[in-house]
């Protein structure tokens, strides 16, 4: 896997460009959005390990965006950037569901240190993901069934199920799953094949088919 994927939602093009370069130099894979609407769409449809969200954004304001993401079950850690630095402003940001809040102007080294801290804390949480009938351990690529039995998954089975389990309720199209999990494959039928493998090992209900749209984590 390449570097940690960070979603940068910032409408100030100069600052976004600077942060993109610095983060890329640090080994992050950076995806940029210049408004809240685009950022929301990306955050709901693609996996990121961490997000940086400017508070003052066009289309969908930063704290509103964060509240909407949390309402949809997206638990990716978020660092808010804001020109507002009073205590009440920080409290607003944390109440909206952000993990950390950094007032502009800030030192780049402090931003990088805070991102590392967020990732460390989150990875401890993210090691286990709930799936129907048990929990998926990302590190060992195994599912611990509710009864105690462990089921081993292949790397791709675990990547597919892990992506769906990290966004319960979100429907991914076959094309999105092909891009995100099977980036060296050409045909969307490979997605169907691995859904079949996961179901064979873990039961049909582990992944739901949403007719005409794609797949999501099973709801049982």
Q: Which residues bind Ca ion (CB under 5 A)?
A: 11, 54, 56
Residue nearer to Ca ion on the CB measure, 80 or 195: 80
> Considering the complex, what minimum distance in angstroms separates the CB of residue 41 from Ca ion?
18
Closer residue to Ca ion, CB minimum distance, 11 or 192: 11
Q: Which residue is nearest to Ca ion (CB)?
A: 56
Closest CA to 69 of 84, 91, 53: 53
Rounded least distance, CB 158 to Ca ion, Å: 38
Least distance from Ca ion to the Cβ atom of residue 59, Å: 11
Give the integer Cα–Cα distance in Å for 80 and 77: 10
- Which CB atom, from 11 or from 26, has the smaller least distance to Ca ion? 11
Beta bridge partners of 128: 137
Secondary structure (3-state) at 145:
strand
Q: Go through 141-168 and write b for each residue having 16 or more CB atoms within 10 A of its CB, e for each that does not.
A: bbbbeeeeeebebeebbbbbbbbbbbbb
**Alpha carbon distance 184, 138 (integer Å):** 21
Cβ nearer to Ca ion, comparing 54 with 176: 54
Q: Please, are residues 36 and 56 in contact by the beta-carbon 8 Å criterion?
A: no
Q: In angstroms, give the least distance from the CB of 15 to Ca ion.
A: 8
């Amino acid at each position: 896997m390449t570097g940690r994927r960070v979603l940068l939602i910032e409408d100030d093009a100069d600052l976004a460009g600077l942060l993109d370069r610095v983060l890329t130099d640090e080994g992050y894979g950076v995806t940029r959005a210049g408004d809240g609407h685009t950022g929301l769409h990306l955050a709901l449809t693609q996996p990121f390990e961490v997000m940086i969200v400017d508070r003052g954004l066009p289309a969908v304001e930063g704290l509103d965006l964060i509240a909407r993401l949390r309402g949809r079950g997206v638990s990716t850690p978020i660092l808010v950037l804001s020109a507002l630095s009073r205590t009440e402003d920080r409290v607003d940001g944390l109440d909206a569901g952000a993990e950390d809040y950094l007032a502009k102007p800030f030192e780049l080294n402090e931003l990088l240190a805070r991102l590392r801290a967020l990732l460390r804390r989150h990875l401890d949480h993210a090691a286990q993901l709930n799936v129907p009938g048990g929990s998926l351990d990302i590190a060992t690529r195994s599912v611990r069934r509710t009864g105690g039995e462990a089921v081993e998954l292949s790397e791709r089975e675990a990547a597919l199920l892990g992506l769906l389990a990290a966004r319960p309720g979100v429907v991914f199209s076959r094309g999105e799953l092909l891009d995100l999990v099977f980036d060296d494959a050409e045909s969307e039928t490979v997605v169907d094949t691995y859904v079949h493998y996961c179901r064979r090992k873990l039961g049909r209900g582990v992944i739901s088919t949403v007719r005409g749209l794609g797949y999501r984590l099973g709801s049982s």
